[in-house]
């Protein structure tokens, strides 16, 4: 589970820093790409050169030592990390993190990273039991940080008790177990997703449709399946998109077809994501024979299709309902209106006029907003990566509702 992962190893100033050398080595041997960030006090126990040799990467110690002028180092490292391990973690570093203090390279990165953070404390037994330290750890745990408890035994200070940094092998094992569990964060959930365009027939050879490729919806279905969900994908006409082997796909053509399929599977779903671009209008008259060219204009009268998303919003009980809003102007304002009007739990908003976002492309730029108006923007990224981030936001909102 650590093979090919970008792992940021944060080392703070305690005698147990020597164990972090073995940890860096073992992570590298397992195929991880390790970058080490040290506090100033950590460098008094172990030389940065030691970690550089073990990780085969530059070691970071100073916020203002910008190694690449094209990047802001602490933000670049925060974004680079797939996961972060703090070992050893002193009482001082725990206190900083719990109170939002960012006064050196490591603490600044920790406020910026979105990766999972694993904290392996190491300190004197009485320091570990101090009410302030315990309170800080409880706060961090409630925020989603993961603790690898210290072992009991003889400590460098001469005391015997809890506070000894866990062994490197045990730290890696704890991270791998959690990573495996975390990977299946939607295990057992029934997820219903719509994707692609619809087609509204005019005659046997003509139809109205739109530019939706279905790529975002298919990416969501694949990401949900990889997260352990039981996935049903209701798809309009798409081409050259492979359906994940664990996804049940239902092919539809018209808005009415999609309406029926979504409502049929809605009652048994836990999470419903309507990513499809459904036709708002269809021809009032559909011709059985091909319409021939004739002099003058051809006027086609259009009528409204059923609003699938609003109808689901009116019928939802325990389902978590997420809509998409593809906008070209005032995206946040229009997305918020749609969120409220259609009784959604969350909405994914994007400006399809932006470069790197919207239909047909392989990347997207979106803003996720929940019913509490909390919002987070996902900058340009492959649609599969956007899908993973959106599903984690949905899972977090579900967890918050359950508490």
Query: Which segments are annotated as binding site for CTP?
Result: 280, 290, 324, 338, 342
Q: Please report, in range form, the residues annotated as the binding site.
A: 280, 290, 324, 338, 342
Number of C-beta neighbours around residue 255 at 10 A:
24
DSSP per-residue letters across 108-153: HHHHH--SEEEEEE---HHHHH-HHHHHHHHHHHHTT-EE-PPEEE
What's the token pair of residue 233?
């994908």
21 counts as catalytic = no
Are the C-beta atoms of residues 238 and 199 closer than 8 Å to each other?
Answer: no
Identify the three-state secondary structure at position 370. strand
Are the C-beta atoms of residues 59 and 38 closer than 8 Å to each other?
Answer: yes
Are the C-beta atoms of residues 114 and 78 closer than 8 Å to each other?
Answer: yes
d(Cα 395, Cα 351) in Å, to the nearest integer?
24
Angle between helices 168-183 and 17-29 (to 10 degrees): 50
Q: Is the peptide bond before 234 cis (omega within 30 degrees of 0)?
A: no
DSSP per-residue letters across 292-321: PP-SS-----EEEPP-HHHHHHHH-SS-EE
Which residues in 340-366 are b (16+ Cβ under 10 Å) and which e?
eebbbbbbbbbbbeeeebbbebebbbb
Are the C-beta atoms of residues 229 and 191 closer than 8 Å to each other?
Answer: yes
Are the C-beta atoms of residues 12 and 91 closer than 8 Å to each other?
Answer: no
Chain-centroid distance of CA 182 in Å reads 12
d(Cα 261, Cα 249) in Å, to the nearest integer?
11
**Which of 58, 101, 127, 157 is flagged as catalytic?**
157
Are the C-beta atoms of residues 284 and 302 closer than 8 Å to each other?
Answer: yes
Active site residues: 157
């Amino acid at each position: 589970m650590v093979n090919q992962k970008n792992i940021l190893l944060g080392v703070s100033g305690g005698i147990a820093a020597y164990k972090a050398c073995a940890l860096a080595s073992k992570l590298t041997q397992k195929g991880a790409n390790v970058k080490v960030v040290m506090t100033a006090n950590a460098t008094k126990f172990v030389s940065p050169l030691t970690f550089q040799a073990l990780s085969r990467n530059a070691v970071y110690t100073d916020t203002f030592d910008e190694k690449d002028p094209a990047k802001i180092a602490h933000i670049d490292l925060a974004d680079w990390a797939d996961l972060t391990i703090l070992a050893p973690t002193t009482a001082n570093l725990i206190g900083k993190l719990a109170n939002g203090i960012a006064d050196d390279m490591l603490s600044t990165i920790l406020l910026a990273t979105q990766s999972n953070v694993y904290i392996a404390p190491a300190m004197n037994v009485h320091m570990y039991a101090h009410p302030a330290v315990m309170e800080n750890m409880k706060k961090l745990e409630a925020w989603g940080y993961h603790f690898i408890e210290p072992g009991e035994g003889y400590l460098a200070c001469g005391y015997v008790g809890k506070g000894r940094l866990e062994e490197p092998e045990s730290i890696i094992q704890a991270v791998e177990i959690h990573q495996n569990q975390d990977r299946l964060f939607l295990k057992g959930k029934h997820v219903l997703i719509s994707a692609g365009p619809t087609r509204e027939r005019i005659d046997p050879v003509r139809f109205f449709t739109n530019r939706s490729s279905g790529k975002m919806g298919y990416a969501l279905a694949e990401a949900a399946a990889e997260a352990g969900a039981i996935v049903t994908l209701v798809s309009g006409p798409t081409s050259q998109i492979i359906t994940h082997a664990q996804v049940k796909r239902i092919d539809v053509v018209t808005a009415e077809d999609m309406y029926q399929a979504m409502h049929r599977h809605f009652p048994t779903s836990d999470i419903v994501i309507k990513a499809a671009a459904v036709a708002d209008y269809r021809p009032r008259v559909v011709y059985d024979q091909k319409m021939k060219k004739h002099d003058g204009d051809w006027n086609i009268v259009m009528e409204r299709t059923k609003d699938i998303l609003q109808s689901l919003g009116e019928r939802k009980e325990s389902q978590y309902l997420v809509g998409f809003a593809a906008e070209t102007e005032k995206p946040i304002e229009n997305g918020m209106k749609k969120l409220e009007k259609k009784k959604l739990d969350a909405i994914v908003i994007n400006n399809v006029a932006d470069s790197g976002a919207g239909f047909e492309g392989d990347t997207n730029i979106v803003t996720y907003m929940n019913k509490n108006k909390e919002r987070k923007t996902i900058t340009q990224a492959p649609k599969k990566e956007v899908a993973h981030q959106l599903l984690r936001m949905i899972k977090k909102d579900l967890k918050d509702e359950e508490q």
